[in-house]
Chain A
Amino acid sequence: MKKALVMCRTGMGSSMMLCIKLDKVIKKNKFPLEVQHDVTSGGIPRDVDLIITMQDLVSDFKDSGVYVIGIMDIMNTDYMERELKKYFDSL
């Protein structure tokens, strides 16, 4: 089971919607992925395997050492599915 952290600047806006969309994709594909959302100020816990965030925040996490997925269009679940498949294929 891998752990994903979805982040946004307040932890209650876009990250929450992203989680809702991601949960559907995860359920449909039965990805072994647990998703949580938090505010960027909160930092990255040690056991996080994957960071997912809106595209404009990706640069904040480029140097974190964790695999990052950036989302342009919050409604595009096909893109999310493709990116998650890419992540699991890379493992």
Chain B
Amino acid sequence: MGILKFIVFSILGQASLLVGCMAMLGLILQKKSAVDVITGTLKTITGFLIFGIGASAAAGALTSFQTLFSKGFHLTGVLPLAEAVTALAQTKFPIVIALVMAFGFIANLIFARFTKFKYIFLTGQHSLFFAAMLTVLFKFMGISDLMTIVMGSVILGIAACLYPAFCQRYMRDITGNDNIAMGHYCTLAYGISGWVGSKVGNKEQSTEKLNLPKWLSFLKDYVVSIALTMGIFYYVSAIAAGKANVDAVAGGVNWLLYPLMQSLTFAGGLYVVITGVRMFLAEIVPAFVGISERLIPDAKPALDCPVVFPYAPTATVIGFISAYCAGLICMFIFAALKLPVIIPVATPYFFIGATAGVFGNATGGWKGCIAGAFITGVLIAVGPALMYPVFAHVGLVGSCFPETDFNFIGYIIYMIGKLLGIA
């Protein structure tokens, strides 16, 4: 009895050990050698702890940015970065999030096995982000850990099968086959982009027939694109807030140097976050792939958005620019309306805008690319603007999810919660 309590509360009570056990189970099920099981488990646990270290580093820079932005503009500045808000959520509900993700995988397998929606969602970090969003929402509404895990995993499992189906017809247009699905939770935007493309453009006029300047390739670098866009907005906020306000938070650092150091710290913190996520998913995702291939061999893998980039690399750049312009315009509109100001950080606008661009291009050439990506840029700004107040209530300050699929379900849950009087 004492040993059981120890296992459940002490070992599994540490989220890092919990995911370590998941990895260990996955490795054993794949009949890996003892050495592989031990190293894989240790790396998974460490990866999760690294994820936590990154969260702390990024959180500090995020908070001081928010402070300066609000002092400078008397508005709330919000960074739409899924990995940032997930890292923050993880400091509050690590175990529930890990369990929602794990049981969400199992729910995915069950729904894929018994329905016609045979998609297996393999983009591990998106499953993690979704689990974090659902956990935060349900805990905000005062729901118990157990019910959060049950409802969260069921929703995750259904979403994993249904969302990829939404834009699959356009995936076929892009890849020329039916082998892969889109495993990136902006399928609503991508589907809309593909549809818009078919209405406004001509797919013969592909973006790939255009030539773009080479310097735009800096956007491909995660650290650089975050550091640059954060840096610009940080300086704008610092100057708007004025020397006195910056000195108050800068702890002795020169007020003109402080924004540089903070934005690089933020980029560094997020780099640590993705390093940790990569490490702890590195054993879990292959295990999941192995298990799903064995149980549901005719299932389609839903994969991370960059798998479509090679089919239309120019569309990715044009899509990013179009989406980013939409983000900038929305930012000014939100500021004028005194809503939470969603700051267009390059990274999500790149991945999401680029993918929307590829979808729009597949059905409507360059016109479809620009139109689809622009609408997507609006959707990924409006979504977090609507949902941010909910997250801020739970103490997740400064960041929110841009992904349309999260916000769509999140908003429905929030509305239901309000109807039931618990939100």
Q: In the complex the two chains form, is A56's CB within 8 Å of B122's CB?
A: no
Interface string of A57-90 (1 = CB under 8 A from B): 1011000000000111111000000000000000
Does A48 touch B at the CB level, under 8 Å? no
Residue numbers in A under 8 Å from B301 (CB-CB): 17, 75
**What secondary structure prevails in chain A residues at the interface with B?**
mixed
Does B275 touch A at the CB level, under 8 Å? yes
Residue numbers in A under 8 Å from B306 (CB-CB): 8-9, 13-14, 54, 56
What separation, in Å, do the CA atoms of A37 and B304 have in the docked complex?
A: 15
Residue numbers in A under 8 Å from B277 (CB-CB): 12
Interface size class of chain A, counting residues whose CB lies under 8 Å from the partner chain = 20 to 34
Interface string of B215-257 (1 = CB under 8 A from A): 0010011111000000000000000000000000000000000
What separation, in Å, do the CA atoms of A70 and B210 have in the docked complex?
A: 21
Contact of A73 (CB < 8 Å), options: B124, B125, B175 = B175
Tell which of B7-15, B62-70, B307-315 binds the partner.
B307-315
Q: In the complex the two chains form, is B309's CB within 8 Å of A54's CB?
A: yes
- Residue from A9, A54, A75 whose CB has the most chain B CB atoms within 10 Å: A9
Does B139 touch A at the CB level, under 8 Å? no
Does B285 touch A at the CB level, under 8 Å? yes
Q: In the complex the two chains form, is A13's CB within 8 Å of B304's CB?
A: yes
A13-B304, A16-B278, A40-B222 are contacts. A56–B286 as well, Cβ < 8 Å? no
For window 92-137 of B, CB contacts with A under 8 Å fall at: 122-125
Interface size class of chain B, counting residues whose CB lies under 8 Å from the partner chain = 35 or more
Q: In the complex the two chains form, is B311's CB within 8 Å of A72's CB?
A: yes
Interface string of B272-285 (1 = CB under 8 A from A): 00110110011001
A20-B289, A41-B222, A54-B307 are contacts. A12–B274 as well, Cβ < 8 Å? yes
Nearest CB of A to B54, in Å: 13
Q: In the complex the two chains form, is B222's CB within 8 Å of A9's CB?
A: yes
Q: In the complex the two chains form, is B282's CB within 8 Å of A16's CB?
A: yes
Q: In the complex the two chains form, is B278's CB within 8 Å of A11's CB?
A: yes
Residue numbers in A under 8 Å from B224 (CB-CB): 41
Residue numbers in A under 8 Å from B175 (CB-CB): 73
- Residue from B277, B278, B282 whose CB has the most chain A CB atoms within 10 Å: B278
Contact of A12 (CB < 8 Å), options: B125, B177, B180, B309 = B125
Residue numbers in B under 8 Å from A73 (CB-CB): 175, 177, 179, 310
Does B316 touch A at the CB level, under 8 Å? yes
Nearest 8 CB-CB pairings of A with B: A13-B304, A55-B310, A56-B313, A41-B223, A12-B278, A14-B306, A56-B309, A11-B278
Q: In the complex the two chains form, is A37's CB within 8 Å of B278's CB?
A: yes
Does A29 touch B at the CB level, under 8 Å? no
What separation, in Å, do the CA atoms of A55 and B174 have in the docked complex?
A: 15
Residue numbers in A under 8 Å from B303 (CB-CB): 13-14, 17, 74
Q: Which residue of B is nearest A21, CB measured? A: B289
Nearest CB of A to B96, in Å: 22
Does B305 touch A at the CB level, under 8 Å? yes
Does B271 touch A at the CB level, under 8 Å? yes
Does A33 touch B at the CB level, under 8 Å? no
What separation, in Å, do the CA atoms of A72 and B289 have in the docked complex?
A: 21
- Residue from A10, A23, A70 whose CB has the most chain B CB atoms within 10 Å: A10
Nearest CB of A to B118, in Å: 15
What separation, in Å, do the CA atoms of A60 and B309 have in the docked complex?
A: 14
Nearest CB of A to B36, in Å: 12
Interface string of A15-58 (1 = CB under 8 A from B): 01101100100000000000001111100000000000011110
Q: In the complex the two chains form, is B180's CB within 8 Å of A74's CB?
A: yes
- Residue from B285, B304, B316 whose CB has the most chain A CB atoms within 10 Å: B304
Q: In the complex the two chains form, is A10's CB within 8 Å of B180's CB?
A: no
Residue numbers in A under 8 Å from B123 (CB-CB): 13
Known interface pairs A10-B222, A73-B177; 8 further A-B residue pairs with C-beta atoms within 8 A, sorted by A's residue number: A8-B306, A16-B285, A23-B286, A39-B222, A39-B275, A41-B223, A54-B306, A54-B310
The 18 listed contacts between A and B (C-beta, < 8 Å) are A8-B304, A9-B222, A9-B351, A10-B222, A11-B275, A12-B281, A14-B304, A14-B307, A16-B281, A20-B286, A39-B275, A40-B220, A54-B309, A55-B310, A56-B306, A56-B316, A59-B217, A71-B310
